[in-house]
Structure formats: structure tokens, C-alpha cells
């Protein structure tokens, strides 16, 4: 049966506020480098009031992935919650402009909460530290899961961060059941090692029972399944899914499937801002799968897309990904 | 008498929405390349709905100039009107984060209009075409002109675009009278050749009677004073002010004062986005004046700041201008 969408993503709809900062600034504000921290309104004000002038770019982990796939001309949709406010309208414009169907009902402009945002502080080494105020992204729930859409996609792509709220976790499970029940497959991104720590058992259950393909990085995988080495963790994780995709920073990525593990090398690049590296790796990989490439080529496409996004500020690609795949003969 | 501020700017408070576009897109939408066009709400929606995903960065011509001077650590203030909405709070945060005092009362969140924005479409040649919805920037009026602030600055810096509204034009004149009356000096930027066409006579009166230093580019100067050549226009224009500063794109800039004209060469640079070139030239020049540099050094500082801003997207510098002045031994 031919489905209308190749990939449908579900995640937090977020606008990024990016600014450079010094290592001293991170220390003085008690911000842990390289991870995502959920913050409340007073903490958001505290950080914003002392941080440098920013640049606003639509973000959100799964949204970055889906819009990356969308720019390749592959049919995709995104499900996530924004408010009918200025940042919400910016988010909706941007993801649609990148070719993605986006029809999740907006939260009314009367709501006290605003569209979610993440203050992303980029230190001189190119590493990013994310301080996320979820706002109305919090309000995603099962009523936002359109059964027709879930049944009409080859792949579902789920953002692990949604496990931080029971309502969105329930939406998540419902989406997977609907997609898989209609013959589709489901993939999950683990998002962040601390997100894994917060929800390890729930994730393990979901993966074992419903997930066909798992995206993660080395830290998330080790946090999830333990093991003395990355190889060991890959071996354990690969038992639960058809395809395990584990990125490893400058080492590239490992793809484990059918008892074999393939290694692909990262593309050399000057890291300006690591924001979105994992998101865009997944975009390249899923674009490859949608174009029926073999797993090694999918991995290389992931590396090309990741290299593109980390060579400039922000988590959305500046250049057309298909052009980059063509240049690299992928 | 020692004044508290070196430069106080008055202009439209605008958030830029920057996106790349093709030449075909400009033609299909009837957008004239390289200039600023004022647009209404329906036209703003038409352009936004069809343009690519954008990046939001605080902008506004005089605001770019003042924040550029602010990053050098020179005491500055900005006067301009935003609404108490998300984009207004972003504008206020960014200009303050760059060291600028910004205390113009915000328009209440109940207002039907929103904070102004400019959709800036950057074509492959790096040229920018600006489509500006002024929103509440329109509402700047004489009550926003704080007499104490105007009397407490060495230089006033006025954005020509404000002449597009009678209320802001009146605010302008009041500011000049207060500043000059307290022993300060006033400078004006002509902003745009079409802005000059719209208000030629009013500008000529203002310049002849109140303006000590005029910033313009070759097109604006020729539109203002005519003449067969740039040299002739410089000669005419220089009669009306103490210092005439005329930028000329890749040719650099000309500074006419006291019967002499100095030429400074532009710094070689790969033009990514021409947005803000004139604004940042003025920033570098005024920073030099504030540091008591001679006019040739001021001109070179203008060229360094302009080169910095056109080498990346957006109209605010990405690197510290003082560092760049130091590297260039200015």
C-alpha cells in the first residue's frame, strides 16, 4: 500500500534564541555545557537578561530533522504545539516554507503560556548549551494525533524529549500504535543523555515493544543500556530494534542491523555551532531510507547533513541538502 | 561641559526577518532590488507566505549603527518605538545586551499594531531588498524625546527613514533643537535614495539649518543635490555641513570637510549579505570620532565595520568591532 508521507515527526515546537557566550558565562550562571536543561519562566528571564544579543531561528529537535528532510523534496509532516503568537507564526511559516505539512492546531492567543523557546549558548569551542522553556509545547496531547496522518506514513519519527511530560508521552504511544497498526514503522531519537536517565525504563519498554529504528549518540546509548564500551552497548541495543543508528561525534556513526555493524566517517568540518548535529544526521539518514539507499549510503548522507548544519549558527541547514548529497555522489 | 553620552540615535525600531531568495522570486513578487519599500499588512502577509524560512535578528538602520558603537564600549542610547510583544522584547533585549541605553516607553500589548519588522530578501549576488512593515515604529512622536537625554549627548544620530511620518519628523526636529541648543551636534543619515526623493526639500531645510554631519551613499547624495558626477555632488553637499561622509560601495568612502575631500578604500570582503553596510560604516566612523581619531582614521574604521557586517547574514556585527579596529591598528 502506498503511503502519502515518507516521514512524519512528532516533537517539541521550539524557536531557538542563539547567542555566543564565554565559558565563564556558563559557569557563572550554573549552566552545564553540552546538554539540554528544562527551565521555568523566572530562570528563562534570568538567563535572557544577562545573555548577549541573539538570533532567532526555528528549532526543535524533531522539527529540525523533518524540515531537513522536507528541503530534499521528500513528503513529510510535523506534529507539535505552538501558540498563535509571533514566535508561533514564525515557527509555522518556517517549517511550511521548507516543504513540511504542519497542521497541529495552534494554542489560542488568549493562553498565558507562550510558544516554547530554547536559549542556546554557543561557547568558543562550538559546543552548545540549551536552556529550554517549553511553553505551550507542553500542551501536546492525544487529541493532536491525527489517526489518518499516522496511518499514512512509512516512518514515524519521535523525539525523546516528549517523554518529559505524561500528556505528550501518551500522545507518543498512541501515534506509534496507529502508525505501526497501519503497516508503518516507528523510529525514536533519544535526544539527550539526561532525558534517557529521566525515563530509562519507559524508553526501554517502548523500544522493545514498538520501535523499529533507534537514533542516539554514544552517551545516550551507554546511559540506556550500559556496557563497558560503545561496541558492547551497540551490541545490546541492536537486539531490540531492526536498525540502530548511533552517532559518535568526530568519529562518525555506527549503524547496526541484521547482526552487522557498519561504520561511516564524519565529514571534516570547522565546527561553528554544534546545535542540530544529531537532528540533521537523522534527516540525512531518513532522506536516504526514503530514497531506498542502502544503510551505508544513508549513514554517509547523515554525515553530510550533520557537517552542513554545524558549520554555521543554528540547527536548520543553510544550503539545500539534495545539492550536497549530489556533490558527494550519494 | 562633559556629556554623559557620546552618541544618541533616533530611528525605527525594527526586527529583521532575513531569508535567501532567487532573482526570479523578486521579479515574480514585484520587489525592486536593493531598496527599502514600506509595505502594509496584506502585502506583508503576501510576501511572508511565499518567502523561504527566515532568521530573525534585531535591526533598524540607526539601531544597527548605535548597537555597533555600543559594542565598542562607547556610551550610547537609542530612541525608537516597539510594542510590548515578543519581537519588541527581543529588540529591547538585544540592543541593551550590546551596551546601549534604551528607555523609550513600549506601546501597550493591547495595541492592534505589532512591533515593526522588515522582510529582507538576500539574492545570490548578496544584495538585499527590504520590505518594511513599520507597525508601532510609526508611533514615535515628540513625547518620546527626553529633553535631558538630548541635552546630554555629544552627537545626535538621526535616521532619514523617520521622515516618512509627520509625527516622527516632528520628533526629529525637536530632538535636533534640544541637542544643538545644549551645545551638542547633530548628524543625519539619508537612509535610501527613494526616501530622499520623497522628502528632498524637507531634508535640505533640515540639513542647511541644523545638521553638522551628513551620512549618505552616492545614490542618495546625487538624488539630494544633483550634479553631473559624484565629485560635483560632494562639492555641493559639503557646503551645507561641517562633515560630509559619502560611502561608495566597493569604492570605499569620501569624507569632505573644511574644503578638503579624503578618500578611504573599502576593505576587500566576500559579500554574503549587504544588509547594514551603511549603518555599520556610520558606526565605525562615529566610534572613531568619539575616540578623537582624525577623519581619515574614522573613515577606515567605518570601512572595517562595514566589511564585518556584509561578510555574514544580518545587520549587526558578529565579532567585536574594537577587536577588529585593534587588528587593523586603528
Q: DSSP labels for B236-261?
A: HHHTTSSEEEEE-GGG-EEEEETTEE
Q: How many domains does chain A have?
A: 1
**From the CA atom positions of chain B, what is the Rg in Å?**
18
Q: pLDDT at position B192, please?
A: 87
pLDDT surpassing 80 at residue B242? yes
CB contact under 8 A, B56 and A85: no
**Which 115-154 residues of chain B touch chain A by CB within 8 A?**
115
For A253, the grid coordinates are: 556513526
| CB-CB contact of A135 with A83 (8 Å) | yes
Which are the contacts of B314, defined by CB distance < 8 A and separation ≥ 6?
A55, B16, B18, B55, B57, B59, B273, B275, B276
CB contact under 8 A, B93 and A54: yes
Give chain A's mean pLDDT. 95
DSSP string, B120-187: EEE-TTS-EEEEEE-GGGGG--GGG--HHHHTTEEEEEEEGGGGGSHHHHHHHHHHHHHHHHTT-EEE
**At residue B313, what are phi and psi to the nearest 5 degrees?**
-70, 140
- How many residues are there in chain A? 330
C-alpha B11/C-alpha B132 separation (Å) is 13
Q: How far is A20 from chain B (nearest CA, A)?
A: 9
Closest by CA to B72, choosing from B308, B269, B314, is: B308
C-alpha A320/C-alpha A317 separation (Å) is 7
Q: Measured between alpha carbons, how far apart are the two ends of chain B, in Å? A: 27
| Interface contacts A/B by beta carbons within 8 Å | 59
Q: pLDDT at position B165, please?
A: 85
Q: pLDDT at position A312, please?
A: 85
Local structure of A117: helix, strand or coil: strand
Smallest CA–CA distance from A319 into chain B, residue: B20
User: Percentage of residues in chain A with pLDDT exceeding 90?
Assistant: 87
C-alpha A15/C-alpha A12 separation (Å) is 10
Local structure of A264: helix, strand or coil: strand
Q: What angle do CA B65, B218, B205 make, to 5 degrees?
A: 75
B55 vs A55, A86, A114: nearest CB:
A55
C-alpha A93/C-alpha B31 separation (Å) is 20
**Which 202-231 residues of chain A touch chain B by CB within 8 A?**
none
C-alpha B105/C-alpha B84 separation (Å) is 9
Other Cβ atoms within 10 Å of A185 Cβ, number: 18
For B73, the grid coordinates are: 564600549
Q: How far is A133 from chain B (nearest CA, A)?
A: 14
pLDDT surpassing 80 at residue A298? yes
Using the Cβ of A56 and the Cβ atoms of chain B, whether some distance falls under 8 Å is answered with yes
Using the Cβ of A104 and the Cβ atoms of chain B, whether some distance falls under 8 Å is answered with no
Local structure of B41: helix, strand or coil: helix
Structural domain boundaries enclosing A54 = 5-327
- In a domain, residue B101? The reply is no
Whole-Å CA distances, A164 to A87, A224, B228: 22, 16, 69
A53 vs B48, B49, B58: nearest CB:
B58
Smallest CA–CA distance from A50 into chain B, residue: B97
Q: pLDDT at position A196, please?
A: 93
CATH of the domain at B234: 3.40.1190.20
Closest by CA to A82, choosing from A12, A149, A131, A159, is: A12
Confidence of residue B15 (pLDDT cuts 50, 70, 90): very high
A173-219 pLDDT, tens per residue? 999 999 999 999 999 999 888 899 999 999 999 999 999 999 999 99
Interhelix angle A277-290/A295-310, nearest 10 degrees: 140
Give chain B's mean pLDDT. 95
Using the Cβ of A280 and the Cβ atoms of chain B, whether some distance falls under 8 Å is answered with no
B16-30 pLDDT, tens per residue? 999 999 999 999 999
Task: Write out chain A residues lying below 8 Å of B98, CB-based.
Answer: 52-53
**At residue A58, what are phi and psi to the nearest 5 degrees?**
-55, 140
A85-107 pLDDT, tens per residue? 999 999 999 999 999 999 999 99
Q: How far is B318 from chain A (nearest CA, A)?
A: 9
B152-191 pLDDT, tens per residue? 999 999 999 998 888 888 999 999 999 999 999 999 999 8
Q: How far is A21 from chain B (nearest CA, A)?
A: 12
pLDDT surpassing 80 at residue B209? yes
**At residue A39, what are phi and psi to the nearest 5 degrees?**
-125, 155
Task: Write out chain B residues lying below 8 Å of A49, CB-based.
Answer: 93
C-alpha A38/C-alpha A40 separation (Å) is 7
| CB-CB contact of B72 with B10 (8 Å) | no
| CB-CB contact of B84 with B106 (8 Å) | yes
Alpha helices in A262-319 (DSSP H): 277-290, 295-310
Q: How far is A6 from chain B (nearest CA, A)?
A: 22
- In a domain, residue B45? The reply is no
B94 vs A53, A95, A97: nearest CB:
A53
Q: Strand order in B153-159's β-sheet?
A: B100-102, B76-79, B5-10, B153-159, B185-189, B213-217, B243-247, B253-257, B260-264
C-alpha A69/C-alpha A285 separation (Å) is 9
Smallest CA–CA distance from A57 into chain B, residue: B55
C-alpha A269/C-alpha A275 separation (Å) is 14
Mean pLDDT, range B293-319, rounded to an integer: 93
Q: pLDDT at position B166, please?
A: 87
Mean pLDDT, range B200-219, rounded to an integer: 95
- How many residues are there in chain B? 330
A98 vs B17, B53, B55: nearest CB:
B53
Whole-Å CA distances, A215 to A241, A250, A290, B150, B239: 10, 17, 16, 58, 69
**At residue B286, what are phi and psi to the nearest 5 degrees?**
-65, -35
pLDDT surpassing 70 at residue B1? no
Q: pLDDT at position A272, please?
A: 85
Local structure of A158: helix, strand or coil: strand
- In a domain, residue B204? The reply is yes
User: Percentage of residues in chain A with pLDDT exceeding 70?
Assistant: 100
B226 or B285: which leads in pLDDT: B285
Which are the contacts of A225, defined by CB distance < 8 A and separation ≥ 6?
A233, A236, A237
pLDDT surpassing 70 at residue B279? yes
Q: How far is B58 from chain A (nearest CA, A)?
A: 8
- In a domain, residue B94? The reply is no
Which are the contacts of B56, defined by CB distance < 8 A and separation ≥ 6?
A55, A56, A57, A90, B15, B16, B17, B18, B87, B90
- In a domain, residue B152? The reply is yes
**From the CA atom positions of chain A, what is the Rg in Å?**
18
pLDDT surpassing 90 at residue B320? no
A211-267 pLDDT, tens per residue? 999 999 999 999 999 888 999 999 999 999 999 999 999 999 999 999 999 999 999
Interhelix angle A86-97/B86-97, nearest 10 degrees: 90
Using the Cβ of A49 and the Cβ atoms of chain B, whether some distance falls under 8 Å is answered with yes
CB contact under 8 A, A58 and B53: yes
pLDDT surpassing 80 at residue A1? no
C-alpha A131/C-alpha A17 separation (Å) is 10
Q: pLDDT at position A133, please?
A: 96
**HEC profile of B297-315:** HHHHHHHHHHHHHHCCCCC
pLDDT surpassing 90 at residue B221? yes
| CB-CB contact of B90 with A51 (8 Å) | no
CB contact under 8 A, B97 and A52: yes
C-alpha B16/C-alpha B131 separation (Å) is 10
Using the Cβ of A45 and the Cβ atoms of chain B, whether some distance falls under 8 Å is answered with no
Which are the contacts of B45, defined by CB distance < 8 A and separation ≥ 6?
none
- In a domain, residue B254? The reply is yes
A94 vs B53, B94, B97: nearest CB:
B53
Amino acid at each position: 500500500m502506498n503511503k502519502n508521507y515518507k516521514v512524519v515527526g512528532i516533537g517539541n515546537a521550539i524557536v531557538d534564541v542563539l547567542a555566543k557566550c564565554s565559558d565563564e558565562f556558563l559557569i557563572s550562571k550554573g549552566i552545564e555545557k553540552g546538554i539540554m536543561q528544562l527551565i521555568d519562566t523566572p530562570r528563562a528571564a534570568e538567563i535572557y537578561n544577562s545573555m548577549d544579543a541573539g538570533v532567532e531561528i526555528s528549532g526543535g529537535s524533531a522539527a529540525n530533522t523533518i524540515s531537513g528532510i522536507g528541503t530534499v523534496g521528500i513528503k513529510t509532516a510535523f506534529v507539535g504545539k505552538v501558540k498563535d503568537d509571533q514566535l508561533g507564526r514564525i515557527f509555522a511559516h518556517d517549517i511550511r516554507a521548507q516543504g513540511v505539512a504542519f497542521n497541529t492546531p495552534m494554542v489560542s492567543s488568549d493562553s498565558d503560556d507562550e510558544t516554547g523557546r530554547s536559549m542556546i549558548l554557543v561557547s568558543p569551542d562550538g559546543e552548545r548549551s540549551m536552556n529550554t522553556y517549553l511553553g505551550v509545547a507542553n500542551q501536546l496531547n492525544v487529541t493532536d494525533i491525527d489517526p489518518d496522518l499516522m496511518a499514512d506514513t512509512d516512518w514515524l519519527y519521535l523525539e525523546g524529549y516528549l517523554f518529559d511530560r505524561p500528556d505528550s508521552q501518551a500522545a507518543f504511544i498512541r501515534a506509534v500504535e496507529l502508525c505501526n497498526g497501519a503497516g508503518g514503522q516507528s523510529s525514536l531519537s533519544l535526544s539527550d543523555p539526561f532525558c534517557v536517565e529521566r525515563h530509562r525504563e519507559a524508553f526501554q519498554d517502548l523500544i522493545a515493544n514498538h520501535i523499529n529504528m533507534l537514533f542516539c549518540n554514544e552517551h545516550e546509548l551507554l546511559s540506556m543500556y550500559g556496557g563497558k564500551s560503545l561496541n558492547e552497548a551497540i551490541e545490546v541495543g541492536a537486539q531490540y530494534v531492526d536498525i540502530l543508528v548511533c552517532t559518535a561525534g568526530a568519529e562518525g556513526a555506527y549503524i547496526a542491523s541484521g547482526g552487522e555493524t557498519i561504520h561511516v566517517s564524519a565529514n571534516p568540518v570547522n565546527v561553528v555551532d554544534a546545535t542540530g548535529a544529531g537532528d540533521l544526521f537523522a534527516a540525512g539518514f531518513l532522506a536516504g531510507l526514503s530514497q531506498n539507499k542502502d544503510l551505508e549510503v544513508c549513514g554517509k548522507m547523515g554525515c553530510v547533513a550533520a557537517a552542513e548544519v554545524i558549520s554555521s549558527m543554528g540547527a536548520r541547514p543553510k544550503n539545500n541538502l539534495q545539492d550536497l548529497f549530489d556533490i558527494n555522489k550519494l
